[in-house]
Structure 1
Amino acid sequence: MNKTNTLSNNNNSTILTNDLEKDNSDILQKSSSTSSKGVELTWSEIEVSVPYGKTRKTVLKGVSGIAKPGEMLAIMGSSGAGKTTLLNLLTNIDQTKIKKSGCVRVNGKYLTVKEMRTISAYVQQIDVFAPRLTVLEQLTISAKLRMGRKCDKLKKEETVERLLRQMRLGDCKNTMIGSPSTQKGISIGEKKRLAIACELMDDPKILFCDEPTSGLDSYMAFQVVTAMEHQAKFNKTIVSTIHQPSSEVFYKFDKVCLMANGKVAYFGPVKELTKFWYSISNTLNCPPSYNPADFAIKMLSNSDDSDQVTVDNRIQMITEAYEKSEYCNLIIKSVKEINTQTAIEDEDNKISTEYAASFCTQLQLMIWRGFKTLSREPMLFRTRIVQTIFTVSILVALYWNMDLNASTIQNFQGLLYLTALQLNMFLFSTAFTLTSELPLAIREYKAGIYGLWPYYIGKSLSEVPQITLLGIIFSTTLYWSTGLHREIYSFIKFATVNTVTINTSLAFAHMAACIFFVEEHTMLFLCALGYPLVLFAGFYMRSPLIPIYMKPLEYVSFYQYAHTSILANQWSNIGHIEGCISPNQTITPNSIERYCQYSTGQEILERLFLFFKIVGGVALYIRGRLMK
């Protein structure tokens, strides 16, 4: 049975390899005249320390290396060996708490963080996508954002089709990506190949991958690494951490950098690893039937329950032998030669630090993605519709066609207060939809794909139509069923105030999500602030009676401005109420004329809407800059 499975996997692997080779050979022939020269990535004498309690711990100790175009470099090591730290250093990811020395250069030239991100792509271990987009839609929007103004529409479409073929995604191109928490979609292996395809969209010179085979079975892992291998044929420099590769996957790489206790245990051709270790000691001889990658990790870790002192001594023996070897001398010599030569400055290697797509294109695509996501969230829309209908049904049943007289004034006051209050019903669901997307937005912003302002504005605009529609349904049903002042102008004003209020509530939720970022923290903030917002809405206590030290909470409550506006709309046009006042008097509620600098509470709501939006956008921008 095992033999049959092995033969099947080998046949599949051969088919995959042949297909990709045929596809790539055609493309290479077409692009050979314009192909990039590629870039050489070097790092020398890297020392890195991180906080460790009240002291610091050195996690990289004098590490040097080189990654060349057209080759795949695997960085391997046991847990805590320093491989992830080295990859993060090369990609300029998560550098906030570390102290480092040494240098990282490209073609002998120091690059800024922004320049490095412009010529490189980083496939992270955890794949994050908009789950409601299809594979084809994800690649299409990625092409428009990453290729931007430098390519025409036909070139973008050709690139999408080519990557669909190269990454073997044609069969699932119309399938929604999905996510573990929302819905089923494409497989983990397909998601990983999609992530690589997106990163290859703008033809980066360097491709970094963080454990691209993690969580995949042997065949899926082979598919992913084979796709990476064929991208190297386009003169790309590929650097990848790798975890427990099969021997078949391991030998796909050209070079391997083995890490142990922050030092290099071997840096050289994959096929010469066992030979070098055997030259150090007979105890390091890899058995013929043993996976060399597994054997290497076993010798550099405590996986065989050896005494820790014995393991440390063995690691020290290996690292010292490497430092004295020709492999190490060759790496150091090559790094020095590259670092002293003049950096290549041809058209292909000129670096642009601008976004590929214009601000308007970014905004348009973010609106489109937001609409697509909402339109494919039927449960969210149904829940909001049911919530709206249920709430308005309760109010209509309670206040059905009331007559206006002295005995029902308080009823109308209660109805108008509840109207303002119920317009926050979508506060929490709106905050959740944003907090669930922010990790994707921050990741793509850090990758230089688009700015945070286009994303934030686009996300906000995509939410407005649905929320506004629900507000209009609520206002129309309630107004004409409960005996409110039946005049078309008053109805338009009532619906307008409610629409502004519900969008202000939306802006407030977005602001909270951008400030606190994490869903639990955002919900806690909204719950905590919800009570004073309701308390100071103008129904439970008149404004003149509120203590001076509590006044700030009154001004923060946007419900009071909504309450003020709909009170004015209801009562300002009524000259006489039976059994209440004489015909020549007009009711002017105390709350209507409190804010002399604005003519209506609606104006204040509109300004609060803009204020919340601006604060939310600034908070998101600051957080993005701090995390970049």
Structure 2
Amino acid sequence: MSIDTKAEAVASPAQGTPAPRDSGLEWRNITYDIPLPRKQRKAALAASANGSSEKASPAANSADQGNGVRELKAGDRRILNNISGHVGRGEMLAILGASGAGKTTLQSILSARLGSVGTLSGTVTFDGKQRNPNTWKRSTAFVEQDDCLIGQLTVEETLRFAARLRLPNAAYTRAQKDERADQVLDMLRLNTAAETFIGNGLTRGVSGGERKRVSIACELVTEPQLLILDEPTSGLDSFAAYNVVDNVRSITRRTNISTLLTIHQPSYSVFCLADRVMLLARGGVFYDGPPGEPAAKYFSALGYSPGEGVNPADYYLELVSNLERNEEGEARITRLLDAWQDQIKKGPIKATQPSDGELTKATAPGDKPSPSSDQSTVVASSPGVEKNGILPEPGSKEAEDKRAVVADKYSTWPITWPEELMILTHRHFLQQIRDRELLIGTQAQSIVLLIIIGLAFLRLGLDNKDVLARIGALFVIPTNASFAVLFPVISIFPLQRQVMLRERSAGVYRTSAFFFSKILTEIPGQVLQRVFFYLVVYWMVGLQPRRYGVWIAVNLLQVACSVSLGLFVGAVSPTLNVANIIAPLINVTFLLFAPTILPNPPPWFIWIRYISPLTYTVMALLQNEMHGLVFRCSPGETQCYANGEAVLDSYGLTTFTVAECIGFVFAITFAFLFMGYLGLRIVAKPRFRYTNA
């Protein structure tokens, strides 16, 4: 990673850049280059050495836009070229651009979520100050495109958990946190859906628009000063999209925050909801001003006007798409980029106050906009918003003062580690007991396997022919548990992991608190579900009645070990598909080198036996069962085991005692948990990248 500090100088007056602002978010001279792929990079470096160079993008060719910007290095590609802009308090800015225009990259830079690859230069300030890495991630709100929510929680529960985790104890009591959740519930117009479950692919829940508003609400509980949304209308119909953006605009004005959103193919009614729009093409800006009539006049003066019935937002972006890559299209893009640089010298484009008729025209066919957000959503007048007068009305001077105090508290963790653990454990517990499909599925699986295994090894006797059957039963039962427990754990972990990554990037809680809460819910939950199975199958198989205590202890410890393996695999696997590949690979390898399957493994594989929990589980179970047994030998049998000790000696199952085997399984369990924690800590570590101010 490299950050170029030489390009920090403010743009020259000739470019028309206004004086630095002390309110809202401002960025100046943002330039970002990334290395080309290896083959293209080699070709570019060779061409540079020969005195030629790759043709630059229209944005980089723009004369004015290139002033004061570092030279593009051979072998690099310019993604953003000297972009400047701002979004003030109480203002909503929409960033639009075709694929590859740079809108997502710009958003990542402004939110400090850009990866470490590439060279970045420029300045980003908020309220006239450099962004503080200690408070930025907690004092700003970032709403991702994908809604990572827990389907088993209601809307109200989701917001209350968010408030209790995110709001600092130094500024809020428990009652105030719950009231803040109610305030946000009202601001996002989610009162009617408060008791509705979020839902998932298998369970019906809230609508798509409500789901998006819940995601926004989770970020707004912290009373942020800046709200950034990544394509909030993606996947929504025009009506739901309008309501979401209209709701966001209302909150922006009501609470006097700065709001920035990227948006893809908006309807014209959504396009006109923004106070300003920034249109990007090839890493440069070709319009930054009010939507609606001002934008239409600007492009009309350049000779570009959409036809009757054409969505102007789509039309403006089509002007710079040039999918055919022809010279005419490239010339048009260059002209639009240069024209905007000329406009910057003249000054910003002023907004006009639309009449009722113009507002009607802004509504695209088929859109059904809700009432104007400026009048329809008055938070203080809604019931329940100021319960007992605990919190000030959003947007009031008292609320602004409290928000400033809260922002100062975000340099440390909002709540203590024990509180994080308690709240996260409660949330995971609710998710676990409400997941009907998983609970019913695992119980049905347990009952079916109980019947099959119990009947297959029903009431084993003490004849010599029953020796192998007894060994088989004591191998199959823990092996079944290792698979039956492992896959339910890894099936739910990836979604929880995504929720955790989103919350960790916002600095909500510590990784250790999340992981320990998973241990406290998953291990007891799986153990309790298996107790009935072990109790019944023990008597069905006909094992020694007085050895039940060690039997249940060893098997339940194997369950805990399988859960720990599932947590480890789930933590280090980026997707469920990857987890489903890794988990069987590890489990089958452990199974293959169990002492009853491969008594004498090759020397180069002997180490696998000693790291396999099944080795110690099977050894402990067989020692527990075989000691004291006397087998009957039929006349004429060439090989006969006189007693259980002879069986143990024959299979080499006396290397360790039962107590030692239990100790080794404990050690392996803790090893899996430790590796899972380290893996999750590495994966979940928030990575922020700030430009120098």
TM above 0.5, yes or no, is yes
Which amino acid is the alignment partner of residue 448 of structure 2? F
Structure 1 residue 482: deviation in Å? Answer: 2.2
Give yes or no for the alignment of 1:605 onto 2:665: yes
User: The residue matched to 2:684 in structure 1 has which SS?
Assistant: helix
CA contact (8 A) 1:38 1:69 kept: no
CA distance in 1, matches of 2:345, 2:412: 40
Question: Which region of structure 1 is more displaced relative to structure 2, 99-108 or 490-499?
Answer: 99-108
Q: Percent identity, aligned pairs only?
A: 26
Give 2:334's match in structure 1, choosing from 305, 310, 316.
316
CA distance in 1, matches of 2:486, 2:406: 49
CA contact (8 A) 1:38 1:237 kept: no
Give 1:557's match in structure 2, choosing from 606, 612, 615.
612
CA distance in 2, matches of 1:429, 1:404: 37
In structure 1, what is the equivalent of residue 510 of structure 2? 451
- Change in 2 beyond 3 A, CA 1:409/1:230: same
Q: What do residues 543-566 of structure 1 show as CA deviations (whole Å, max 9, x unaligned)? A: xx3332111111121111101111
CA distance in 2, matches of 1:390, 1:613: 30
CA contact (8 A) 1:43 1:66 kept: yes
Structure 1 residue 201: deviation in Å? Answer: 0.4
User: The residue matched to 2:596 in structure 1 has which SS?
Assistant: coil
CA distance in 1, matches of 2:641, 2:98: 85
Q: What do residues 85-128 of structure 1 show as CA deviations (whole Å, max 9, x unaligned)? A: 11111112242323211111223332254532122111122211
CA contact (8 A) 1:435 1:518 kept: yes
Give yes or no for the alignment of 1:236 onto 2:257: yes
CA contact (8 A) 2:622 2:648 kept: no
Structure 1 residue 497: deviation in Å? Answer: 0.5
User: The residue matched to 2:228 in structure 1 has which SS?
Assistant: strand
User: The residue matched to 1:513 in structure 2 has which SS?
Assistant: helix
CA distance in 1, matches of 2:570, 2:287: 47
CA contact (8 A) 1:118 1:351 kept: no
Give yes or no for the alignment of 1:145 onto 2:195: no
CA distance in 1, matches of 2:671, 2:260: 45
CA contact (8 A) 1:76 1:257 kept: yes
CA contact (8 A) 1:561 1:605 kept: yes
Structure 1 residue 538: deviation in Å? Answer: 1.0
What does 1:31-70 correspond to in 2, within 5 Å?
A: 39-54=23-38, 55=41, 56-70=76-90
CA contact (8 A) 1:72 1:238 kept: yes
CA distance in 1, matches of 2:491, 2:342: 57
What does 1:372-451 correspond to in 2, within 5 Å?
A: 372-424=430-482, 425-451=484-510
CA contact (8 A) 2:22 2:126 kept: no
Give 2:297's match in structure 1, choosing from 265, 275, 280.
275
Structure 1 residue 243: deviation in Å? Answer: 2.4
Equivalent pairs counted in the alignment come to 568
CA contact (8 A) 2:22 2:127 kept: no
CA distance in 2, matches of 1:249, 1:476: 62
CA contact (8 A) 1:44 1:65 kept: yes
What does 1:281-360 correspond to in 2, within 5 Å?
A: 281=302, 283-285=303-305, 291-302=311-322, 308-326=326-344, 347=405, 350=408, 352-360=410-418
CA distance in 1, matches of 2:159, 2:676: 29
Gaps of 5+ in 1: 1-36, 332-344
Q: What do residues 285-312 of structure 1 show as CA deviations (whole Å, max 9, x unaligned)? A: 4668764433422333348x8x732232
Give yes or no for the alignment of 1:518 onto 2:579: no
Structure 1 residue 539: deviation in Å? Answer: 0.4
In structure 1, what is the equivalent of residue 429 of structure 2? 371
- Change in 2 beyond 3 A, CA 1:436/1:215: closer
CA contact (8 A) 1:471 1:498 kept: no
CA distance in 1, matches of 2:202, 2:77: 40
User: The residue matched to 1:426 in structure 2 has which SS?
Assistant: helix
Structure 1 residue 518: deviation in Å? Answer: 1.9
Structure 1 residue 145: deviation in Å? Answer: 1.0
CA distance in 1, matches of 2:597, 2:264: 63
In structure 1, what is the equivalent of residue 135 of structure 2? 115
Give yes or no for the alignment of 1:486 onto 2:539: no
- Change in 2 beyond 3 A, CA 1:65/1:409: same
- Change in 2 beyond 3 A, CA 1:349/1:135: closer
CA contact (8 A) 2:455 2:540 kept: no
Structure 1 residue 498: deviation in Å? Answer: 0.3
In structure 1, what is the equivalent of residue 385 of structure 2? none
In structure 2, what is the equivalent of residue 184 of structure 1? 204
CA distance in 1, matches of 2:233, 2:468: 67
CA RMSD for the aligned pairs? 2.8
User: The residue matched to 2:558 in structure 1 has which SS?
Assistant: helix
Give TM-score scaled by structure 2 length: 0.76
Gaps of 5+ in 2: 1-20, 42-75, 350-402, 634-639, 689-693
